[in-house]
């Protein structure tokens, strides 16, 4: 006799659904800015660390370096990021926000905070704090532990 599997309550499924909801809320809130969550994460990280190199940035936003390069290219086309070769190692690309990129990122931060608040809206403050702490613990564990074979 096979045991039933409740897919609707599977943690992986719920994390995926929560991520889909988070992206939908983000896109609705920031539709006028024509920016994706990954683009905002990159802008925010470059704002926090001007002159960061592309490889370090990719690790910081948990995105592969090759794909982050194309995202950075789109942000460069928008005039929000400036990319320059490192003077010591010209293969390394260093990143800065342009003045308009700085203004756009600052303006978007309030909207992104509203997205986070709306995502957690059904929860009490204690539940929201616990959820964020548990998700951070889950991510930290899996980032530091190789996948089981």
- In a domain, residue 129? The reply is yes
pLDDT at 106 over 90: yes
Q: Tell me what the mean pLDDT of segment 73-78 comes to.
A: 96
Number of domains within the chain: 1
Q: Identify the pLDDT of residue 64.
A: 87
The answer to whether residue 28 is domain-embedded is no
Instruction: Determine whether 30 is exposed, middle or buried from the number of CB atoms within 10 Å of its CB (0-12, 13-18, 19+).
Output: buried
Burial of 127 (0-12, 13-18, 19+ CB in 10 A): exposed
- Cβ atoms of 139 and 119 within 8 Å: the answer is no
Does residue 91 belong to any structural domain of this protein? yes
Residue 113 structural domain: 35-144
Q: Is residue 22 part of a domain?
A: no
pLDDT at 149: 64
- The answer to the question of residue 16 being in a domain is no
94: domain CATH number?
Answer: 1.10.10.10
The answer to whether position 122 is within a domain reads: yes
In this predicted structure, the answer to whether residue 66 has a pLDDT above a threshold of 90 is no
- Cβ-defined contacts of 66-74 (< 8 Å, 24+): 68/38, 68/42, 71/36, 71/38, 71/39, 71/42, 72/42, 74/39
In a domain, 127, yes or no: yes
Residue 9 lies in a domain: no
- CB under 8 Å to 40, separation ≥6 — which residues? 26, 30, 105, 108, 112
pLDDT digits (tens, 9 = 90+) for 81-99: 999 998 888 888 999 999 9
pLDDT at 33 > cutoff 70: yes
pLDDT at 147: 79
11 pLDDT above the threshold of 80:
yes
């Amino acid at each position: 006799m096979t045991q039933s599997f409740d897919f609707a309550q599977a943690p992986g499924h719920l994390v995926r659904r929560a991520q889909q909801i988070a992206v939908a809320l983000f896109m609705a809130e920031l539709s006028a800015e024509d920016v994706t969550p990954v683009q905002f994460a990159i802008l925010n990280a470059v704002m926090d660390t001007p002159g960061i190199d592309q490889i370090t940035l990719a690790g910081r936003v948990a995105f592969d370096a090759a794909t982050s390069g194309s995202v950075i290219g789109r942000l460069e086309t928008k005039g929000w990021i400036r990319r320059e070769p490192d003077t010591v190692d010209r293969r390394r690309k260093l990143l800065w926000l342009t003045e308009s990129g700085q203004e756009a990122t600052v303006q978007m931060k309030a909207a992104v905070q509203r997205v986070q608040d709306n995502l957690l809206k059904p929860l009490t403050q204690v539940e929201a704090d616990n959820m964020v702490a548990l998700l951070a613990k889950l991510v930290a564990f899996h980032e530091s532990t190789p996948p089981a074979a």
